[in-house]
Amino acid sequence: MHTPIRIELPTLFGMNTVNAYLFLKPEPVLIDCGEQTEQSWKTLNKALAAHHLHINDLAKVIVTHAHVDHIGMAGKIAKESNKTEIWVSEYAYNWATNPQGMNEIRQGVIQEYLKLFPQLEGSPLQQMFNSAYKLMAAAWGDIPPEKIRKFTKDETLHFGQHEWQVIYAPGHCNHQTCFYQPNTQQLLSADMLLAVTPTPVIDVTLEPPYQREKSLHQMIASYQKFAQLEVSTVYPGHYTPFDNHREVITKQLNRITQRKTECLKHIKAGTHDFMALLEKLYGTNFNIPALPMLVGYLDLLASEDLIKAEKTDQGIKYFAV
């Protein structure tokens, strides 16, 4: 069995590193490629050199999803190489061809949503969001359009001397795909299956009119789909590979249920404000992922008719039904 070669690339964000996976035969193929930074570029070149390869030897870079830590360096690779193609799914294609435009759309939807919570205006959390957005924009290079190839969820991809099924896996984001090899039971899980619960980012719908997705709903559905697969080894987008995918899924689903129940308990006890709920669940030193997680819990509770949201002069308030 040909196992992927894990390359840990540095990232500007909280995960410390992001995984790219190298397959050598029948041609060099890279799954994901990190951010466009000097440190990441040097790390990737050093890793390739360890296998007697250069950037120009890569036949293709296949991107799991269009987040900067997975696609940011694709443009630089494509420009530096005479032959490397950048493969993206039908869901990520708009992000690959127009990253600035799509990020502006997403940022606009996020800002409109955050206006529902006036307490966030000018808060350290909003400042962190703005800083992260600037970092992301600086580390995401444009890909030459002629180097981009689009694949669909119904295709089979050929790399690593095997045929890999494309699995659409929304949740962390709605343009994420994973790759499954049924004979070897290997799963390239991107940010769908991680050792810790991935964040369901505040995302926008795939097509206009762009609206906010209910990402945690999608994540739960994807977990249930992945639990049906027979998997020997998971190769995640961050952290080390693991072999107990159902145990990981069960643990993370239970964690979501637990935190959703805690959220409802606080609302019933009289905590109706979004920022106050954040502090109840995460303390005063919460970071950016805390916000979309709470958004997801509130979405779940509302869809189960356990809470209702009311607009007030102080923003949205949440009450138990």
Looking at 1.10.10, 1.10.287, 1.25.40, 3.30.450, the CATH number of the domain 266-320 comes to 1.10.10
Please check whether residue 54 is in contact with residue 48, taking contact to mean a CB–CB distance below 8 angstroms.
yes
d(CA 202, CA 200): 7
The CA–CA distances, whole Å, from 40 to 13, 32, 47, 63, 197 equal: 13, 12, 11, 16, 25
Is the confidence at residue 1, as pLDDT, over 70? no
Average pLDDT over residues 254-279: 96
Task: Work out the pLDDT band at 21, boundaries 50, 70, 90.
Answer: very high
Q: How far apart are CA 246 and CA 249, in angstroms?
A: 5
* Average pLDDT over every residue of 33-52: 98
Give Cβ neighbours of residue 301 (< 8 Å, ≥ 6 apart). 260, 263, 264, 267, 307
For the chain, the domains span 5-97+138-251, 266-320
Q: Give percent of the chain with pLDDT exceeding 90.
A: 87
For 184-241, how does the pLDDT look when each residue is reduced to its tens digit (9 = 90+)?
999 999 999 999 889 999 999 999 999 999 999 999 999 999 999 999 999 999 999 9
| Strand segments (E) across 65-115 | 85-89
Band of residue 287 on the pLDDT scale cut at 50, 70, 90: confident
Q: What is the pLDDT of residue 2?
A: 76
Q: Which residues pair with 115 in a beta bridge?
A: none
User: How far apart are alpha carbons 51 and 54 in whole angstroms?
Assistant: 9
Mean pLDDT of 93-120: 92
pLDDT, residue 83, reads 93
* DSSP symbols for 181-231: ETTTTEEEEETTS-SSPPP----B-SSSSP-B--HHHHHHHHHHHHTTS--
Whether residue 260 has pLDDT greater than 90: yes
How confident is residue 8, by pLDDT bands cut at 50, 70 and 90? very high
Average pLDDT over residues 24-33: 97
> Which of 14 and 54 is assigned the larger pLDDT?
54
Q: 128 pLDDT band (50/70/90 cuts)?
A: confident
pLDDT value at position 286? Answer: 80
Tens of pLDDT, residue by residue over 157-193, are 999 999 999 999 999 999 999 999 999 999 999 999 9
Architecture of domain 5-97+138-251: 4-Layer Sandwich (3.60)
The sign of the CA dihedral 88, 237, 249, 277 is: negative
At residue 164, the pLDDT reads: 98
